[in-house]
Amino acid sequence: MKNHYSSVFPLVRDMCVKGMVVDECTLNVVINCYCLVGRVDLGFSVLGGFFKRGIVPNVVTFNTPLRGLFQEHKALQAHELFKKIIYEKLCEPDEVTSGIVIRGLCQKGNTGTAIDFLRAMEKQKRPCKPNAIIYSTIIDSLCKDKMVDEALALLQVYKIVPDVITFSIVVDALCKERHIEDADEIVQIMIQQGQNPDRGTHSSLMDGYCLQRRIDDARRIFNTMVASGLTPDLHSYGILINAYSKTKKVEAAMNLFREIRHQGLTPNIVIYNTVLQGLFSSRRRLDSPRHLFKNLFLKGLDPHVKTYKTMIAGLLSEGLLVEAKELVAKMEEKGCLADSVTYNVILHGLLTGGHYEDAMAYYEEMVHRVFSLDASTFSILLDSATEK
């Protein structure tokens, strides 16, 4: 639809030329289209059409350019327009108006001003009171600014019952700040208030527990999610698979990997990368990662640089220089160009395995491609030079 917004303008001009009735709804559509194509200035010019026809602009008329100004990063002009609407009583602001202002202020990082505006709304005798969306917008902004305590304080003085989205925002922020016990407590409050945690809430809790290496608790949340009738998505599976792989519980990771297909889902490249890393780190037989890597192609997935890097590092750690070099060549053939990290992995593996001539060839290629050594590779390179 976006490509057709500009088609509205000549159409309305033709309507005017032919003497057709252009009403309030039509003019509001024109203003909206101008705002959507980034021309709020022309949207304001349409207001003249209202007065010319004796039509009184309504709240929708002013909400549209107000939103457009915020979208064009013109917060000052938006603020001036809002003050004009209030002081000159151009229309009666509604919840949408307030939501536009709050969201615009938060997106510009003016969360403090947004809270002041919220307080003013709460004191108003008008029917336009803050709703769940407005509170959620401010709470989300506070959480993004890592002001979780302030978000919790706002949640506690809620004038309305928070919804699942609001609770989930706070839970996610607490988990990222590693306050997992507080996050779990919020979930219990959710349930007490009749709000069932959604898949995102469960995933945030799982992630929080995994950050603290409490994988059994993460698995408990996973099982609770399933028991509540929610089907885990790839993100939920990925969190646990990653945790099991990093702690070398590869069998548990592989069981979940196989379970994904039984649920009718297709593992993505991120999950394949995670499982490959887990297989190599656990020193499993090479047949397993080789088979998994081939399976990736059969499923129509394109390996990332990270996928190749994991395979190459694993092969080099097993002393399989020829196979690793073949994979590097295949990687380039597929148009997946190695980055600095990949070259460091290759060079590190070659030096550790004592393949100095091959290592120097890759080092020269790194220099040619303006890549730099990382600290560990540079240290090994110096040690090998000293030994010689």
DSSP for 8-63?
HHHHHHHHHHTT----HHHHHHHHHHHHHTT-HHHHHHTHHHHHHTTPPP-HHHHH
Instruction: Give the model's confidence band at 152: pLDDT under 50 very low, under 70 low, under 90 confident, else very high.
Output: confident
Final residue of a structural domain among 39, 64, 92: 92
Q: What is the Rg, in whole angstroms, of the alpha carbon atoms belonging to the chain? A: 29
pLDDT per residue as tens digits for the range 248-288:
899 999 999 999 988 889 999 999 999 998 888 876 677 88
Final residue of a structural domain among 41, 61, 92: 92
Indicate whether 32 and 85 sit together in one domain. yes
Final residue of a structural domain among 118, 145, 160: 160
The identity of residue 261, as a single letter, is: R
Q: Is residue 322 part of a domain?
A: no
Q: Residue range 2-31: average pLDDT?
A: 70
Q: Cβ distance 69 to 40 under 8 Å?
A: yes
pLDDT score of 101 more than 50: yes
Indicate whether 30 and 2 sit together in one domain. yes
pLDDT per residue as tens digits for the range 326-369:
888 888 888 888 788 888 888 888 888 888 888 888 888 888 88
Give me the residue label for tokens 């307080």.
119
CA distance linking residue 347 with residue 353, whole number of Å = 10
Q: Is residue 267 part of a domain?
A: no
Q: Is residue 53 part of a domain?
A: yes
Indicate whether 17 and 85 sit together in one domain. yes
Residue-level pLDDT at 338: 79
Indicate whether 26 and 109 sit together in one domain. no
Residue-level pLDDT at 274: 93
Residue-level pLDDT at 17: 63
Q: Is residue 55 part of a domain?
A: yes
Indicate whether 54 and 77 sit together in one domain. yes
Percent over 70 (pLDDT), the chain = 90
| Residue of 70, 67, 20, 25 lying closest to 46 (CA atoms) | 25
The 3-state DSSP composition of the chain as helix, strand, coil percent (nearest 5) reads 75, 0, 25
Q: Is residue 276 part of a domain?
A: no
Indicate whether 102 and 131 sit together in one domain. yes
Q: Is residue 316 part of a domain?
A: no
| Residue of 134, 143, 131 lying closest to 168 (CA atoms) | 143
Domain count across the chain: 2
Indicate whether 104 and 137 sit together in one domain. yes
Indicate whether 54 and 1 sit together in one domain. yes
CA distance linking residue 194 with residue 363, whole number of Å = 61
Q: What is the pTM of this model?
A: 0.74
pLDDT score of 314 more than 70: yes
Indicate whether 84 and 105 sit together in one domain. no
Residue-level pLDDT at 1: 44
Indicate whether 75 and 106 sit together in one domain. no
Indicate whether 76 and 104 sit together in one domain. no
Q: Is residue 278 part of a domain?
A: no
pLDDT score of 212 more than 70: yes
pLDDT score of 236 more than 70: yes
Q: Residue range 44-50: average pLDDT?
A: 80
pLDDT score of 122 more than 80: no
Mean pLDDT, the chain, rounded, equals 84
Q: Is residue 179 part of a domain?
A: no
Does residue 371 or residue 81 have the better pLDDT? 81
For the chain, the straight-line distance linking the first and the last C-alpha, in angstroms and rounded, comes to 68
Indicate whether 155 and 128 sit together in one domain. yes
For residue 165, count other CB atoms closer than 10 A to its CB: 16
Residue-level pLDDT at 256: 94
Instruction: Give the model's confidence band at 24: pLDDT under 50 very low, under 70 low, under 90 confident, else very high.
Output: confident
Containing domain of residue 101, as a range?
96-160
